[in-house]
Every structure is written in C-alpha cells, then in structure tokens.
Amino acid sequence: MKVDKKGAVVLLSGGLDSTTVLAIAQNQNYRCWCLSFRYGQKQSVELEHAEDICHKMGVERHLIIDIGLDAIGGSALTDDIEVPKDRSDEAIGIGIPVTYVPARNIIFLSYAVSWAEVLGVSDIFLGINAVDYSGYPDCRPEFLRAYEKMANLGTKAGVGHNNISFQAPLIAMTKKEIIKTGVSLGVDYSLTHSCYDPVEHLACGRCDACRLRKQGFVEAGVKDPIGYAE
C-alpha cells in the first residue's frame, strides 16, 4: 500500500502527550496511521483509550502490535515492582525511575520505522518530552537525532528511498504548554489516560504521571476532565 506524501505514522499510547501530537499532525494536514503496543504493561487500559481516540479523531488506521516486551522485564510498568507514589517534584526529576522500561522507546521507534517503510511514508510523530521526563535517556533530543541517522542508514531510505524524519513537537514543551496547545486544537482530554497504576480504571492521582498531569492542568488554568481515585 502506498500513500500520498502527507502520510505519517503516529505513536499513540492513549495518553495526554501522544494524543496532543496526533492533533498537531492532523492540524498540519497529515493523514495519520496510529501505532500502539501491547507490551505487557499493567495499565493496558490505555489501549482502550487509544482505540477510542483513533475512532473519534478519524485516523486512517490504528494498529496495535503485541511486542512481548514482558518476556524481558526490568520495569515497574511490566514487572511486579511497585510504582512509586507521592514523589516530590525534585524526586521525579532525579535519576532513572523504576517506571523506565529498558530500551522501550528504541523498540517502539523501530516498529514505527518498519511500518513507515511498508506504508511508504517519511514522517513519524511521537510525543517524547525532555522536560518532564528528563530521567529517561530515550526522551532526549540527542537520542532522537542519533536514532534518525541510524534509521536512515538501516532502511531503504539509506539506499536512495524516502528519508525517515522524526517529528517530536512536544520535546521542549512543559506540560502546561502541551495542554494549552491541545486545547487550542480542540483535543478532548477526557479521552486520554496517563496513570501508571490505575485503580479500577480510575487514575490513581499519585504516581509520577498523574502528578505531572494534574500540575499541568492547574498551571494551564484548565480543568482536567478525567476523574481520579484520590
């Protein structure tokens, strides 16, 4: 299947960031092929949110791939390791958290590159952010630049075909800026899910992801439309 030049692959977790990215790509007149992963995450409810978002935002296709990352383990998001709660802003910003999944973004991007190559599209949108996730090595701009270079050497792009280009429009934004951008584009944040450790489908309100989200809505002066367990 070949698509026109304005096609893009969008990595969509069902969270606030990647949903904003989808809205940005659509606003730039991209037709979007959305990619999500079943990787053994405990909060697989996010995939239901991703499906709902794709349906309501009108994407070309939503593909969920089973990638078996739980076979490797090593993270609080896939293993029986406790997700930290009620951490201070300072603690969130220091070191590599236990919610870091080893090489997860490296793996996610590799599937996006593969699908882009099969679809014949050049642009891959993703919601990585180097402000809130400064502790994740695979959210840094220098990582993404190195990835792009590698991807262009390791695919047909490297031998004269279309170049792979990564678009990370949120990479330098604060959560407040991300939310304001999304609101201006009409994103319905009630569809999104951010929590690392939901309580019966409700966001816990206390993990790093919930804390960053709640604070972002407060700073943006916008009411967070989702409910929290506490």
Nearest one of 157, 146, 149 to 121, comparing CA atoms: 157
Question: Which positions from 12 to 41 touch its own copies by CB under 8 A, shown as an x/- string?
Answer: ------------------------------
Contacts of 114 (CB under 8 A, 6+ apart): none
Integer Cα distance of 48 and 198 in angstroms: 13
Residues 86-105 that bind its own copies (CB under 8 A): 96, 100-105
Smallest gap from Cβ 162 to its own copies, in A, equals: 12
Integer Cα distance of 48 and 119 in angstroms: 24
**Site residue total, its own copies (CB under 8 A):** 44
- In the bound state with its own copies, the residue whose beta carbon lies nearer, of 92 and 191, is 92
Smallest gap from Cβ 183 to its own copies, in A, equals: 31
Return the sign of the alpha-carbon dihedral for residues 94, 100, 104, 105: negative
Instruction: For residue 189, state whether it binds its own copies (rule: CB under 8 A).
Output: no
- Residue 15 forms beta bridges with which residues? none
Question: Which positions from 39 to 68 touch its own copies by CB under 8 A, shown as an x/- string?
Answer: ------------------------x-xxxx
Instruction: For residue 170, state whether it binds its own copies (rule: CB under 8 A).
Output: no
Integer Cα distance of 210 and 168 in angstroms: 22
Smallest gap from Cβ 83 to its own copies, in A, equals: 18
Q: Which stretch binds its own copies (CB under 8 A): 50-58, 84-92, 146-154, 186-194?
A: 146-154
Nearest one of 118, 150, 131, 38 to 92, comparing CA atoms: 131
Let me know: does 123 contact 8? Beta carbons within 8 Å: yes
Q: Label residue 159 exposed, middle or buried (CB < 10 Å: 0-12, 13-18, 19+).
A: exposed
Please give the backbone phi and psi of residue 43, each rounded to the nearest 5 degrees, phi first. Answer: -95, 60
- Work out which of 117, 123, 132, 208 binds its own copies, going by CB under 8 A: 117
Integer Cα distance of 204 and 219 in angstroms: 20
- Residue 38 forms beta bridges with which residues? 66
Q: Which stretch binds its own copies (CB under 8 A): 15-23, 71-79, 194-202, 213-221?
A: 71-79
- In the bound state with its own copies, the residue whose beta carbon lies nearer, of 19 and 152, is 152
- Work out which of 137, 176, 228, 229 binds its own copies, going by CB under 8 A: 137
Binding-site ranges for its own copies (CB under 8 A): 63, 65-69, 71-74, 96, 100-107, 109-111, 113-115, 117-118, 137-138, 140, 142-143, 146-147, 149-151, 153-159
